[in-house]
Amino acid sequence: MSKKPALLVVDDDPQVLAAIDRDLRQEFRQDYRILRAGSGAEGLEAMRQLKARAEPLALVLSDQRMPDMEGVQLLEQARTLFPEAKRVLLTAYADTEAAIRAINEAHLDYYLMKPWDPPQHLLYPTLHDLLATWQAQYQPRFQGVRLLGFQWSPQSHELKDFLAAYMIAFQWLDFEANPEADVLLSSLGLTPSDLPVTVFEDGTALAQPTRTAIAEKLGLALKASQPLYDVVVVGAGPSGLGAAVYGASEGLKTLLIERQTPGGQAGTSSRIENYLGFPTGLSGAELAHRAWAQAVRLGAEFLSPQEVTQLCVQDEYKVLTLADGSEVRTRAVVLTTGVSYRQLAVPGMERLTGAGVYYGAARTEARSCSQQDVYVVGGGNSAGQAAMYLAAFARKVYIVIRGASLAASMSAYLIEQIGRTPNIELLPYTEIREVRGDDRLETVVLRHNQTGAEQECPARAVFVFIGAKPSTEWLCNALLCDGKGFVITGRDLLADARFAPIWKKRREPYALETSVPGIFAAGDSRAGAMARVASAVGEGAMAIKFVHQYLDE
């Protein structure tokens, strides 16, 4: 709930300050908060704190003759911090000429003479008029997290995506395009070299924060609370969230660990329209947030952003080592680490990643593409969903594919939607050969693979969806993986003569069990998995069934 707008009164004479504070409270306390300061420096600090907390200031009433700072000087500072606030000078008769000059030169709104008794005639009418004018133009400020940064900063982009993935309401203030960002930064005592800066609702700020620092400030858990769990799920994509929901609902002491944000690749999808039970579709972030809330409500514990760096077995217990050096012990593990987008290996891509080049949907950047040309590289469903979402903002969306059409890799419903969208154009037999720009993406070099012709085209952004690789780099020393890094599970462990001697149990491995008993794999990082949200959720639920069977042995 937003606070009432403030009225700030500043005077170095304690008796005068107390008198005007009393009169203001008597008349205006129902609609405003009355703040007082005993010097210009105190008044300036009070305004800076209000600015940092994004709290509204409606009026500043300051005495002219103060030893450390004259009232006119303070009111000039107030104009910089709060341009909309009304500024009133309190003067003695001898200062009226200075007050009139200040109205003309410093754009003061009014001056009042001492004494102002009775206030019903000499104070309240003037202030009521000024406050009525202020209220007519006042728009309540955003209440929540504010992120200040540069549009083309990879670190700013990473923080925007982090906050958006957790569905944390935030206001983005581009330092180069929004004057409010400069004013707010100054009020915090920071400089542009400190950007990006995250300002929280309580007025505190973090300069160049890590995701972990923001998570701690927002109250996300980073440490496990229990010495031993029944099952730890590693990865909060659809399969991991499904496992957490079913594990917690069936009474298992369940811990879910995610190194980035909930939802995995599906969480970045702008629209999922073929998921059962949602006839109008929903965003990946919304689906992930609902599942996360459901798992937590049912009793699952959630650590994020936290990364597992090592997995080993000690006396039948599984020990997970986290990036901060702490350890988590569990009786069973479900690995749902998912996949990450493959890098597009052309000149300029690495240098401009986060500054016009993005892997995945990057929904937080869509509005900045207004009336400009963007390129989507890839022909799968994720690419099609991103193109449809971007088409609502961009002037033109070009889908770049090496093949002849989208039919081999994209769902029919998406192909139909793309065909009906006039500002989406398919570029078949085409690939990006280079991306160019100094500190941000400016152009792309396209090559037609049949003719060999190349052309350089302006581009605001490139979004890359060119297949995925499993996020199992830290696992393949402990578990059997195939040549591409996907985890081998179930009967596939016995089907290959090279792997069969590794399995030492008398029973066959359960369908989603890895080469280490009690460690299961589900979702996109598992060899043979189907890349669909529904199947990923189903595998997560199946894994919990096998966890029960393993724990009952």
CATH code assigned at 173? 3.40.30.10
Q: Is 67 helix (H, G, I), strand (E, B) or coil?
A: coil
Pair (453, 524) in one structural domain: no
Q: Which of 322, 341, 334, 327 is nearest to 241 (CA)?
A: 334
Pair (334, 478) in one structural domain: yes
Instruction: Print pLDDT tens along the chain (553 aa).
Output: 457 899 999 999 999 999 999 999 999 999 999 999 999 999 999 999 998 888 899 999 999 888 888 888 898 889 888 988 999 988 876 567 777 777 766 678 888 888 888 999 889 998 998 998 888 778 776 778 999 999 999 999 999 989 988 878 888 999 998 888 998 999 899 999 999 999 998 889 999 999 999 999 988 899 999 999 999 999 999 999 999 999 999 999 999 999 988 888 888 787 788 888 887 788 888 899 899 999 999 999 999 999 999 999 998 899 999 999 999 999 999 999 998 888 899 999 999 999 999 987 777 888 889 899 999 999 998 899 999 999 989 999 999 999 999 998 899 999 999 999 999 999 999 999 999 999 999 999 999 999 999 999 999 999 999 877 899 989 988 899 998 999 999 999 888 777 667 888 889 999 999 999 999 999 999 999 988 899 999 999 999 999 999 999 8
Pair (389, 323) in one structural domain: no
Pair (247, 289) in one structural domain: yes
Pair (512, 540) in one structural domain: yes
Identify the pLDDT of residue 440.
94
Pair (198, 317) in one structural domain: no
* Assigned domain for 461 exists: yes
Strand partners, 424: 397
* Assigned domain for 258 exists: yes
Pair (130, 20) in one structural domain: yes
Pair (327, 353) in one structural domain: no
Q: Which of 552, 486, 491 is nearest to 522 (CA)?
A: 486
Pair (132, 10) in one structural domain: yes
The CATH number for 82's domain is 3.40.50.2300
- End of a domain among 113, 137, 161? 137
Identify the pLDDT of residue 95.
67
* Assigned domain for 32 exists: yes
Pair (160, 64) in one structural domain: no
Chain Cα centroid distance, residue 83: 29
* Assigned domain for 224 exists: no
Element of type H or E holding 406 = none
* Assigned domain for 223 exists: no
> How many Å apart are CA 443 and CA 326, to the nearest integer?
46
Pair (40, 124) in one structural domain: yes
Pair (399, 515) in one structural domain: no
- End of a domain among 466, 482, 509? 466
Q: Which of 402, 407, 399 is nearest to 425 (CA)?
A: 399
Are 214 and 159 within 8 A, CB to CB? Answer: yes
DSSP per residue over 150-198, as a string? -TT-HHHHHHHHHHHHTT--EEEEETTT-HHHHHHHHHTT--GGG-SEE
Residues 6 or more apart whose Cβ sits within 8 Å of residue 60? 7, 8, 9, 10, 43, 47, 74, 75, 78, 82, 85, 86, 87, 88
* Assigned domain for 1 exists: no
Are 40 and 70 within 8 A, CB to CB? Answer: yes
What is the extent of the structural domain holding 155? 145-218
> How many Å apart are CA 71 and CA 63, to the nearest integer?
5
Count of structural domains within the chain? 4
* Assigned domain for 256 exists: yes
pTM given for the model: 0.74
The values of phi and psi at residue 416, to 5°, are -65, -45
What Cα–Cα distance (Å) separates residue 199 from each residue in 51, 172, 285, 323, 448? Answer: 11, 11, 23, 26, 47
- End of a domain among 448, 466, 484? 466
* Assigned domain for 197 exists: yes
Are 352 and 157 within 8 A, CB to CB? Answer: no
Residues 6 or more apart whose Cβ sits within 8 Å of residue 93? 113
What Cα–Cα distance (Å) separates residue 345 from each residue in 155, 193, 375, 387, 444? Answer: 21, 31, 16, 22, 14
Q: What type of residue sits at position 257?
A: I
> How many Å apart are CA 389 and CA 364, to the nearest integer?
11
The CATH number for 236's domain is 3.50.50.60
Identify the pLDDT of residue 1.
42
**Angle at 447 (CA atoms; ends 443, 448), nearest 5 degrees:** 140
